[in-house]
């Protein structure tokens, strides 16, 4: 799965990984530092970079096929006239999602991760340098479809949004607590299918989320019919206004 | 399965510490991991020998302190151990709990081996 994801070993730091042989005196050294300190440093740099330009960054995470790209298309149609948007697309392979966004006339940078199952702050940093941040208000980062690995990596975003399609089980928050605890907003997508599915209970899904100690807002929507998309756009605009005025997050 | 990436990040931090202390090798790496960090201790242990091969920590033991999930209930003040899937208060059932431990992903300590005088 992730064994080609050596994104932390670069030509710049490889020389530090030198070999040696044990012998002689031992010294314990206390460290107490995050295991992903390198990623977190890069993420803080990204965040500072975005804030210099007043750009709000929203990281979208979900299983593959939960409807991240379709929701982005709808969002662009509704907000594209009022705000300057851009998208960073993370996928294992292909530029298909980027082409769909580009067709909407929005700047997009595709990151193809190969076999790596998540985006990290270094990848996003390189992508940021391919965007003109001075001409942006809102940047979406569409993470690799995966409910496990992306949750562990800070990218420099301001908000995490986790999508849960109603075609998945309503116990997903219980099965993937790390992902759902990381969310600042949870979206139940493909809600137009609820009547035909019958076995996804939004209340039960929300109950599983609350058991994780999460009090974040939950919205149901359908990017296909447009139902509920307005509420999602309002959440985004509240977050944009909050960023501009320096107020607290929604 | 991002544990290999986590392992490599840890090892480059460890290599930097070893270089700063002019250590000859690293003999032990102690980490603290909670179930809400998203990192599986077993997978990290399995990834470690592959990531450490050829590095200054090649012969190091990876010691994982698996932290329990503990919450403090804001409603009734109770402190208790819970599971990662249910962080509600085990005593009163309230959902307003604060996490005391369980999301750690920390490099706690490294044990360095210094240049022996026998060479």
For residue B27, the distance in angstroms to the closest alpha carbon of chain A comes to: 8
Domains of chain A: 35-245 (3.40.50.300)
DSSP A81: T
B38: CB partners within 8 A, 6+ apart: A148, A149, A151, A152, A178, A179, B2, B105
* Cα separation values, B45 from A68, A117, A232, B51, Å: 34, 19, 41, 10
Q: Once rounded to an integer, what is the mean pLDDT over residues A74-83?
A: 97
Strand pairing category for B105-114 and A26-34 = antiparallel
Within an 8 Å CB–CB cutoff, is residue A146 touching chain B? no
CB atoms within 10 A of CB A167: 15
pLDDT of residue A7: 45
Q: Per-residue pLDDT for A13 more than 60?
A: no
Select the residue from A10, A29, A148, A149 to test the B interface by mutation, using most B Cβ atoms within 10 A: A29
Q: How far apart are CA A33 and CA A201, in angstroms?
A: 41
Select the residue from A2, A17, A152 to test the B interface by mutation, using most B Cβ atoms within 10 A: A17
Of the candidates A20, A24, A35, the beta carbon closest to that of B105 is on A35
pLDDT of residue A23: 46
A105: CB partners within 8 A, 6+ apart: A80
| A to B CB pairs, distance under 8 Å | 182
Q: Per-residue pLDDT for A229 more than 90?
A: yes
Of the candidates A7, A17, A36, the beta carbon closest to that of B54 is on A17
Q: Per-residue pLDDT for B119 more than 60?
A: no
Q: How far apart are CA A6 and CA B57, in angstroms?
A: 17
Q: Once rounded to an integer, what is the mean pLDDT over residues A197-209?
A: 95
Q: Per-residue pLDDT for A20 more than 50?
A: no
Quick: pLDDT tens for A84-122: 999 999 988 888 899 999 999 999 999 988 878 899 999
């Amino acid at each position: 799965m992730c064994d080609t994801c050596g994104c932390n070993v670069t030509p710049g730091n490889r020389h530090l990984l030198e070999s040696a042989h044990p012998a002689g005196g031992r010294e314990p050294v206390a460290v107490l530092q995050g295991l992903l300190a390198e990623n977190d440093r890069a993420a803080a740099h990204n965040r500072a970079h975005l804030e210099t330009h007043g750009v709000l960054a929203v990281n979208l995470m979900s299983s593959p096929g939960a409807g991240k790209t379709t929701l982005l298309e709808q969002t662009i149609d509704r907000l594209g006239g009022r705000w300057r948007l851009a998208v960073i697309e993370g996928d294992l392979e292909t530029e298909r999602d980027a082409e769909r966004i580009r067709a909407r006339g929005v700047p997009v940078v595709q990151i193809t991760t190969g076999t790596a199952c998540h985006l990290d702050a270094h990848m996003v940093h390189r992508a940021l340098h391919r965007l003109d941040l001075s001409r942006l208000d809102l940047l979406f980062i569409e993470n690799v479809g995966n409910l496990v690995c992306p949750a562990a990596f800070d990218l420099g975003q301001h908000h995490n949004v986790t999508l849960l399609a109603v075609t998945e089980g309503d116990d997903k928050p219980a099965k993937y607590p790390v992902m759902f605890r990381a969310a600042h907003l949870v979206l139940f997508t493909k809600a137009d299918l609820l009547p035909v599915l019958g076995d996804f209970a939004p209340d039960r899904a929300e109950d599983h989320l609350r058991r994780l100690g999460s009090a974040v807002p939950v919205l149901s929507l359908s990017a296909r019919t447009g139902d509920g998309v307005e509420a999602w756009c309002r959440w985004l605009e509240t977050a944009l206004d909050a960023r501009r005025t320096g107020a607290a997050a929604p | 399965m991002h544990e290999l990436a986590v392992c490599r990040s840890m090892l480059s931090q460890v290599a930097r510490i070893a270089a700063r202390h002019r250590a000859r090798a690293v003999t032990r790496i102690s980490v603290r991991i909670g179930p809400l960090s998203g990192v599986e201790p077993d997978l990290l242990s399995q990834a470690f020998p592959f990531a450490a091969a050829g590095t200054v920590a090649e012969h190091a033991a990876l010691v994982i302190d698996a932290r329990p999930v503990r919450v403090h209930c804001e409603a009734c003040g109770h402190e208790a151990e819970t599971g990662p899937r249910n962080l509600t208060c085990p005593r009163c059932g309230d959902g307003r709990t604060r996490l005391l431990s369980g999301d750690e992903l920390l490099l706690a300590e490294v044990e360095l081996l210094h240049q022996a005088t026998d060479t």
